[in-house]
Structure 1
Amino acid sequence: MRVKRFIGDNVAETMGKVKRDLGSDAVILQTRQFREGGVFGLFGKTKVEITAAIEEQPVSKKPVRPVNPERLDQTRVTNEAVYRPKAPNPEPFQNSLAGEYAQTSKTVSLEQELQSMRKLLTRMNQQMEGFGGEQVIWPVPLQKWADLLQERGVQPKLVKRLMRYLQQNLREEDWSVDSRVRVKLKEEIQQICHNTATIQPGVKKPRVIALVGPTGVGKTTTIGKLAAGFSIVDKRSVALITADTYRVAAVEQLKTFGEIIGVPVDVVMTPSGLKDAITTHEDKELIFVDTAGRSPHHELHMSELKSFLDKAQPDLTILVLSATMHSADQLKVLRRFEPLCTHLLFTKMDETVNGGSILNLLEQTNLPVAYITNGQNVPDDIEAATPDRLTRYILGEENRHA
């Protein structure tokens, strides 16, 4: 095996040198980053060093020279004169077997090692492809944090941003200290999740809050939790209005719930009916409006929703998103509903291992997060969103039901 080190300004350049010199069958043994030049390790230029290896081709045997017949006769005579028969000695045979066995063991061990190296190289290539074709190799102590973020559903580009932040804001000797890495990582994630705001009751007139979003995200259950929390716990005067006439079960659920907690519930069929119902409850501090689930791809449904909101003129319009949705679907829903909304609310945080999808979304919107729900219990399984609480969910530190 031939082993060689290659140095370049970045991974792509250095890998190019490896392929040009050793070919595409080369195996990566080690990768590291270091600084070259500068003063006392400062202001130096970052370099990438890759140690690679390639299996040597077996040495071909030398060609046999043609034998001169005359020399053959002379050799035969000489051999006959010197030859003395002896009893066979078993030791050379045994030593030969032992040597062959040792050589075979070494060959098997080498093949296993090479196979392990190939698997490592395959994993590295897959990692590089996952970052949009850009080759990214993190220092060994930080790699597990990149793996954690990806397992939590954080998008590759955002993982890269967070890892760069760790490299730039931690001393290299601290990369292996988990507690220090975690503190720095949480600082940056909290910065992305900094925009939070909860519901405040109205003073001279009711505060109208409408919940909107696609089907199946838990709007009706969430509005029940909010109503119960404000009416029973905070002792506020609350009214419920539902415009979700598409689902009879949802209407009955909300009416039954309203009776239990002593909150009036109105059912409206039209935008004008919604406006009249809001006027009826002008003596309340909070009015919650439940709307029908709308597909972001259905123009008629979105147009109907806009008509209801135009009449209601809510103070807050909260987009409800399920944490169990695929990150790409979450983003599509956000882009479609965003012009109509003022806040975000994430449900079903207890049902997903991909809490990092929230981070993907928050990086791309200025809408504040109001609340998080994490179960079916009313009104317990809902909490005000804070940067710290969101960060704990994103990193998988906050799962009360685990």
Structure 2
Amino acid sequence: MRVRRFVGDNVAETMGKVKRELGSEAVILQTREIREGGFLGLFGKLKVEITAAIEETPVKEQISVPKEGSLREDVKRPQDRQVSVVKDSSEALQEEMKAMRLLLEKMNKQMEGDGEEKSDWPPVLQRWADHLLDRGISENLVRRILSHVQQTLSPHEWVDNSLVYARIEANVRQICGQIGLIQPGIDKPRIVALIGPTGVGKTTTIGKLAAGFSIVDKRKVAMITVDTYRVAAVEQLKTFGEIIGVPVEVAMTPSGLSDALQLHADKELIFIDTAGRSPHHDLHMSELRAFLDKAKPDFTMLVMSASTQFADQARIYQRFEDLTTHLIFTKLDETDSAGSILNLLGQTTLPTAYLTNGQNVPDDIEAATPYRLARYIIGEEIPHA
């Protein structure tokens, strides 16, 4: 059996080296992450090491056959020896295949984040890794964040909880750095449309924004709803409007939306509430595009719930991405794993505008800042050892 060690930047690259060198029949013996370069194991680059083996073609054994009539009991006939070799090879192959299946299962669990084994962090940093993973942050980002801690703090500083928390928070703030808030129009109204799937709180968020700008900032505001699929949504927005003294229009068609916008051309801000759209439904998305094409909003804000799983958040974002200029995250009070937000922000350059953390209008909304995002994402408390 020929055993070789292969190193690459990731599993896919390293497996490619294995296949090119040893072929598809190679048996994976071990897979682990290593750190190459650096000083005393620090500052090195993370690599994937795979140890693999291939069964080489055995050399035929030369068998000395005694003269006829003098065959000893301790010398096996060639056919007997061949049966024995085949049997031993079969058992060894079965053991190797079993070991390979167990290894692949372990690798899959690690890649999915469900495995019991943790990254090879020093114990003092492992609890931080566990904490960040529990908050919903992906393994790749956890590795990036804690690698930054390792590189910028000396080992004796790792035991300082406040110092490590501050360094993690600073790194998270950097990832969340893109922020963009609504500015009222001067010569003409600034048009703000909220889009997104059903159930994320678009109507309530529009009520909060309209109340804040009209009551607190004393701006001239109007609201328009094109969500005629849900009578309750129309009534909810009208109720908000009556309470805060803001006019509300209902537009059934894109041309009706154009008329409603003309009616309030004297306003500084116009908020448009759209119907919740399934990102998988092409007709719904086409209808939404038709309204947005007519409105030509200055801001088109994709509203997503922080309590939605990251895989679903990613699908929603991909479907609405080409329509979106800003992000709003809602229901931050309903989850303890808001790290999915960081996973998304790590993949986009779109700015975050607002965060909501309750149902109260207009109180439970705040302007997004890197600091507030970081606090929601990693939590306010330091994990216990």
Given the two structures, how large is their TM-score scaled by the length of structure 1?
0.68
Q: 1:128 offset after TM fit, Å?
A: 4.1
Task: State the partner residue of 1:231.
Answer: 214
Map 1:72-91 → 2, pairs under 5 A: none
Q: 2-side partners of 1:377 and 1:242: how far apart?
A: 20
Task: Tell me which amino acid in the other structure corresponds to 1:229.
Answer: G
- What amino acid does structure 2 have at the position aligned with 1:304? E
CA distance in 2, matches of 1:308, 1:126: 44
Q: Distance between the aligned counterparts of 1:252 and 1:130, measured in 2? A: 44
1:165 aligned to which of 134, 137, 148: 148
Matching of residue 319 in structure 1 with residue 302 in structure 2: yes
Does residue 1:348 correspond to 2:323, yes or no?
no
2:232 corresponds to: 249
1:1-400 equivalences under 5 Å are 128-130=110-112, 136-397=119-380
2: CA distance, partners of 1:190 / 1:367 = 15
Match of 1:110 in 2: none
Query: How many residues are aligned here?
Result: 302
- Is the contact made by 1:131 and 1:157 (CA closer than 8 Å) also made in structure 2? no
Contact 1:129-1:135 at 8 Å conserved across structures: no
The alpha carbon displacement at 1:156 in A equals 1.2
Structure 2 counterpart of 1:182, one-letter code: Y
Shift of 1:136: 2.9
SS at match of 2:235: helix
Shift of 1:354: 1.1
- Are residues 43 and 288 of structure 1, via their aligned partners in 2, closer, same or farther at CA, if it must alter by over 3 Å? closer
Letter in 2 for 1:309: L
Per the normalisation by structure 2, the TM-score is 0.71
Report the Cα distance in structure 1 between the residues aligned to 2:142 and 2:218, rounded to whole angstroms: 44
What's the secondary structure of 1:344's corresponding residue? strand
Q: Which runs of 5+ in 2 are unaligned?
A: 1-6, 12-33, 47-105
> CA separation in 1, counterparts of 2:242 and 2:41?
69
* 1:43–1:269 Cα change, 3 Å: closer
Distance 1:307 1:34, change over 3 A: closer
**Residue 101 (structure 1) aligns with:** none
1:37–1:358 CA distance, 2 compared to 1 (3 A): closer
Report percent identity of matched pairs.
Answer: 62
Q: 1:284 to 1:273 in 2, by over 3 A?
A: same
Q: For residues 288 and 145 of structure 1, do their structure 2 counterparts lie closer, same or farther at Cα, with a shift above 3 Å needed?
A: same
Query: CA–CA distance in 1 between the matches of 2:360 and 2:372?
Result: 19
1:81 equivalent in structure 2: none
Query: Secondary structure at the residue paired with 2:137?
Result: coil
CA distance in 2 between counterparts of 1:37 and 1:192 reads: 25
Amino acid at match of 1:303: S
Compute the displacement of 1:46 (Å). Answer: 9.2
The change in CA–CA distance for 1:182 and 1:204 in structure 2 (over 3 A counts) is same
Letter in 2 for 1:361: L
State the Cα distance separating 1:167 from its structure 2 match. 1.2
Secondary structure in structure 2 of the residue aligned to 1:162: helix
Shift of 1:325: 0.6
Larger Rg: 1
| Shift in Å, 1:43 | 9.0
Query: Structure 2 vs 1, CA of residues 252 and 364 (structure 1 numbering), >3 Å: closer, same or farther?
Result: same
CA gap 1:274/1:185 in 2 versus in 1, 3 angstroms:
same
